[in-house]
Amino acid sequence: MAVNKVYSTCSSALEGLLRDELLVAVGGFGLCGIPENLIIALRDSGVRRLTIASNNAGIDDWGLGLLLRTRQVRRMISSYVGENAEFERQFMAGELEVEFTPQGTLAERLRAGGAGIPAFYTRTGLSTPVADGKPHEVFDGETFLLERGIRADLALVKAWKGDHSGNLIFRKTARNFNPMVAACGKVCVAEVEQLVPTGELDPDQIHTPGIFVDRIVQTISEKRIEQRTTTAQ
């Protein structure tokens, strides 16, 4: 019998999946392709002491910044956090644990977790604080450091289009991290701008097969600009 993956609201899509101290992987690149409505539902659930693995930490009033404002995040695994003043304040005050990860390494850690690879070696981060405390190994005369794959308790992603079976298509920059995030979660919930019946998507255009997606919900996006720069006229 076919499993119904479609939910009517973000809160119902997260029902039964949440608890304190979850490791949550969240898709997006800056504010592009973030599961904004699922993040709001996660905030409203009241769960606490979360570890969040994400390319970014949002901004002060949007994205993952909403969870930082309510102090629901205990630890961040991120590669770029420069747009969030509250993140900076909590980090400098010792209130937030942070594991800085080079952007490519983070993408590969997520991909490895989804592929069942527990760890891999890379040269990225050698001779920097990123390498502190990590095992090193020499291959062909060159030193590499060991990075662990990320296997999240819950993955939250945002797609442009999806079908009732959970097959997803991402647009442009939103594809940078969302496919890896979707694959690395023990459970994956996707929000989509367009939801179509199974069979309407061109199989050659699908970026994340529905086998990786457990629940899907259609939402209305709010297009925000992470940093607006203007010139005087």
Q: By the 8 A CB rule, do 201 and 161 touch?
A: yes
CA–CA separation, 16 and 14 (whole Å): 6
H/E segment holding residue 69: helix 65-69
pLDDT single digits (tens) 71-84: 999 999 999 887 78
The answer to whether position 228 is within a domain reads no
- Give the range of the structural domain holding residue 164, as residue numbers without chain letter: 6-218
pLDDT single digits (tens) 113-144: 999 999 999 999 999 999 999 999 999 999 99
Residue 161 structure tokens: 């289009």
CA–CA separation, 140 and 143 (whole Å): 8
Domain tally, the chain: 1
Residue 55 structure tokens: 């390319």
The answer to whether position 229 is within a domain reads no
Is residue 107 pLDDT above 90, yes or no?
yes
The answer to whether position 226 is within a domain reads no
Handedness of CA 116, 119, 123, 124 (dihedral sign): positive
The answer to whether position 224 is within a domain reads no
The answer to whether position 223 is within a domain reads no
The answer to whether position 63 is within a domain reads yes
The answer to whether position 32 is within a domain reads yes
H/E segment holding residue 6: strand 6-7
- 3-state class (DSSP) for residue 33: coil
- Here the CATH number for the domain that contains residue 76 is 3.40.1080.10
The answer to whether position 1 is within a domain reads no
CA–CA separation, 202 and 110 (whole Å): 26
Which residue matches tokens 């367009």?
194
pLDDT single digits (tens) 25-55: 999 998 999 999 999 999 999 999 999 999 9
Q: Which residues pair with 154 in a beta bridge?
A: 24
Classify residue 211 as exposed, middle or buried by CB count within 10 Å of its CB (0-12, 13-18, 19+): exposed
